[in-house]
Amino acid sequence: MAFHTVGNYTFQWTDLHLPREKTDPLRHEYDTLGHDAVKKLQQIAREMKGDASVKPTLCPGGFDMYAVLRDHHAEDETLGKLWREVHTVPDWVDWEQIERGQKFFYRYAGANMVGFLLQAFFGENSSAAGVIEVLMRTGGFSPRVLIRRLLETFQHLLQVTSSLESIQPGGQGHTTTIRVRLLHSAVRERILRLAETRPDYFDTATYGVPVNILDSIHSISTYSCNPMWLQLPQMGVFPTEQEKADYIALFRYVGYLLATPDEYFASVPQAKATMESLLLHERSVTDNSLIIGHNLLETVKDMAPFHISVGFIEAGSRVLNGDALCDSLGLGRPGMLAYACWRGHCWFVRVLALLQKWVPGVDEACVQYFRRTLYDAIVNSRQGLGGVSKMDFKYVPAMGKMTNKEGSGRALFAGSFLERPVEMFYLAVFVLGCLFWLGITSVGLTALNMLGMYLG
Ligand code: HEM
């Protein structure tokens, strides 16, 4: 069967892959239960505020949707159905496997976080046209709020991986995932309602329904499959078959909670084929991709305390996403120093992964360390979210509101390379690595010389 190359990645089409005839119609399907439930929740919220007679307003936010669902699911058929669905654990869920999957994120935390930011967000998200159309309208990708938006995404990722209890029904990760499902439905409902008054507001014929089933499958694939084949191996870290199966199983369950059909992630080969099919069908850079990509770069570059340079981001993005995609997203071509730092990063995560494989104590220590520190830094600290986010519906689409290319609003970073601690560290790793290879090469050459003299 045919081979395909997308960016730096080549794969062979198999019977498990999804032809366009199968994926395209999924653009017009969506989470109807979540959609109906959000409408019901809005009605209950209005009744609670005492304005039941007022016709539905265009602003559906402003109340805690999850709390209303939790408190009223027994009184309403739709809410009851949704509540039962998310509290029913499918029989394919194996909690021991899910627990192993959760550790995967922390085991390779450095590689996973860099991969998520540079490949999943920068490459995959920016070039998923339907997703971008929605994000352009919410304003969540405006640099003024984007850092909080990114931290909230990481909060969800940390909560679904923090402990088994957290992802089990009633746990924090489980609850946040339901909040996200309601948030998605509220965004969709809002955009569709605006499109009813002005059909040219959102092109459903081309992009499908906002936050549709195909986009959701794509997102779950980005979360769970991209680290295995598009991110970690490019940094020299090679997940085992067991690790792939475990992490994909975790996100198959997260996807189930988010109304994403789970059969596309039922096995490792099927999940890989799903990822590859969508890589081939869905990658499309539009003018709006350039805006989202620009805003992402503006937000992340030079941010305290790490002051990561634009060059390092460009070098990593180019290695992970390929030059063609990065060129079309308007990314610059960085110099040798940036690539040396990137190489240092790859060598560091590779050596750490090998150490973890050989010394189980190191593995456990890494998992525990990153579990504790990442949650504290991203969720609890004042530089992070400053407390758990409830994923409120705050980036509300409105007629005439569109995200534009913007600067971060921060003062320009005028520090030198010495004030970029991460890159300094990676450069040191790179230099040490080079010296190590030089040492090995010269020992090898000396040995060969001696052998030659002995034989000659
Ligand atoms: C199925 C896998 C997905 C996961 C795990 C996921 C995760 C999340 C999380 C954690 C948030 C909360 C972040 C925040 O509000 O700041 C969020 C919000 C949001 N998501 Fe998703 N998402 C998924 C799919 C999608 C898809 C397919 C779309 C399509 C466009 C989408 C669009 C949005 C939007 C518009 C928001 C509201 C915040 C904003 O305007 O940026 N998500 N998602």
pLDDT in tens, 328-342: 999 999 999 999 999
Q: In terms of residue numbers, what domain contains 427?
A: 417-455
Report pLDDT for 1: 80
DSSP string, 81-139: HHHHHHHSPPTT--HHHHHHHHHHHHHTHHHHHHHIIIIIIIIIITTBHHHHHHHHHH-
Of the residues 380, 407, 426, which one is the last residue of a structural domain?
A: 380
- Residues 244 and 289 occupy one common structural domain: yes
Q: Is residue 136 part of a domain?
A: yes
- Residues 318 and 424 occupy one common structural domain: no
- Residues 268 and 320 occupy one common structural domain: yes
Report pLDDT for 387: 95
Cβ neighbours around 427 below 10 Å, total: 18
Quick check: 156 pLDDT over 80? yes
- Residues 164 and 23 occupy one common structural domain: yes
Report pLDDT for 56: 52
CA angle (281, 285, 289) in 5-degree steps: 130
Give tens-digit pLDDT for 8-35: 999 999 999 999 999 999 999 999 999 9
Report pLDDT for 149: 93
- Residues 367 and 248 occupy one common structural domain: yes
Which residues in 102-139 are b (16+ Cβ under 10 Å) and which e? Answer: bbbbbbbbbbbbbbbbbbbbbbbbbbbbbbbbbbbbbb
Q: Is residue 385 part of a domain?
A: no
The confidence band for 61, taking pLDDT boundaries of 50, 70 and 90, is: low
Q: Is residue 387 part of a domain?
A: no
C-alpha to C-alpha distance for 189 and 192, rounded to whole angstroms: 5
Ligand 1 centroid – CA 180 distance (Å): 7
Cα distances (Å, whole numbers) of residue 125 to 141, 158, 218, 302, 395: 11, 20, 9, 22, 18
Q: Is residue 52 part of a domain?
A: no
More confident: 410 or 336? 336
- Residues 376 and 424 occupy one common structural domain: no
Q: Is residue 322 part of a domain?
A: yes
Ligand 1 centroid – CA 216 distance (Å): 9
Cβ neighbours around 368 below 10 Å, total: 12
C-alpha to C-alpha distance for 185 and 189, rounded to whole angstroms: 6
The confidence band for 53, taking pLDDT boundaries of 50, 70 and 90, is: low
Give tens-digit pLDDT for 364-403: 999 999 999 999 999 999 989 999 999 988 888 988 889 9
Work out the average pLDDT over 167-189: 97
Overall domain count for the chain: 2
Q: Where does ligand 1 bind, in terms of residues with CB under 6 Å?
A: 131, 134-135, 138, 140, 149, 152-153, 156, 180, 183-184, 187, 211, 215-216, 219-220, 223, 255, 258, 260, 391, 395
Q: What is the mean pLDDT of the chain?
A: 93
- Residues 238 and 191 occupy one common structural domain: yes
Of the residues 380, 397, 432, which one is the last residue of a structural domain?
A: 380
- Residues 324 and 434 occupy one common structural domain: no
- Residues 360 and 421 occupy one common structural domain: no
Of the residues 354, 380, 406, which one is the last residue of a structural domain?
A: 380
Q: Is residue 223 part of a domain?
A: yes
Work out the average pLDDT over 148-152: 94
Report pLDDT for 412: 83
Ligand 1 centroid – CA 183 distance (Å): 8
- Residues 239 and 294 occupy one common structural domain: yes
- Residues 433 and 365 occupy one common structural domain: no
Report pLDDT for 58: 40
Q: Is residue 398 part of a domain?
A: no
Quick check: 106 pLDDT over 90? yes
Read off the amino acid at residue 273.
A
DSSP state of 57: P
Q: Is residue 18 part of a domain?
A: yes
Report pLDDT for 442: 87
Residues in Cβ contact with 417 at an 8 Å cutoff, skipping those fewer than 6 apart: 309, 337, 423, 424
Please provide residue 140's backbone torsions phi and psi, each rounded to the nearest 5 degrees.
-65, -15
Rg of the chain on CA atoms, in Å: 24
The confidence band for 90, taking pLDDT boundaries of 50, 70 and 90, is: very high
Give strand ranges (E) for 122-272: none
- Residues 346 and 226 occupy one common structural domain: yes
Q: The whole model's pTM is what?
A: 0.94
Report pLDDT for 55: 52
